[in-house]
Amino acid sequence: GAGVSQSPRYKVAKRGQDVALRCDPISGHVSLFWYQQALGQGPEFLTYFQNEAQLDKSGLPSDRFFAERPEGSVSTLKIQRTQQEDSAVYLCASSLWASGSYEQYFGPGTRLTVT
């Protein structure tokens, strides 16, 4: 079956522009996670949804970052007034989240470059 998909795969934004990154999870997966990966580092948690409820947004670096999952499926990560330090790969993961099955599956990521 289809895996997690993300779009766009690459995004170049000028400093100060707003961007929106999309994630399509695996069909039927309840949990959805966003991570940020800087060059040479492991992914770091941003935010987490269970169905449409955002249960944890403690990893969002500033109030310029906003995520939503209004119908419990597709999610969008929005970054307002982008800064150079926002340049990174943004990864989305989904999980079935059933008893004994918390394995997370990752999409290919969106590479954001802020110039």
Report the residue number, 22 or 111, with the smaller CB distance to other proteins. 111
Q: Which of 66, 74, 114, 65 is nearest to 92 (CA)?
A: 74
Q: Which residues of 48-78 are buried (b: 16+ CB within 10 A; e: fewer)?
A: bbeeeebeeeeebeeeebbbebeeebebebe
55 vs 81 by CB, closer to other proteins: 55
Q: Does 21 bind other proteins (CB under 8 A)?
A: no
Alpha-carbon distance 32 to 106, whole Å?
Answer: 10
What mask of x and - would describe binding to other proteins in positions 52 to 71, judged by CB under 8 A?
----x--x------------
Nearer to other proteins, 82 or 94 (CB): 94
Binding site for other proteins (CB under 8 A): 31, 33, 35, 41-45, 48, 56, 59, 89, 91, 93, 95, 97, 102-106, 108-109, 111
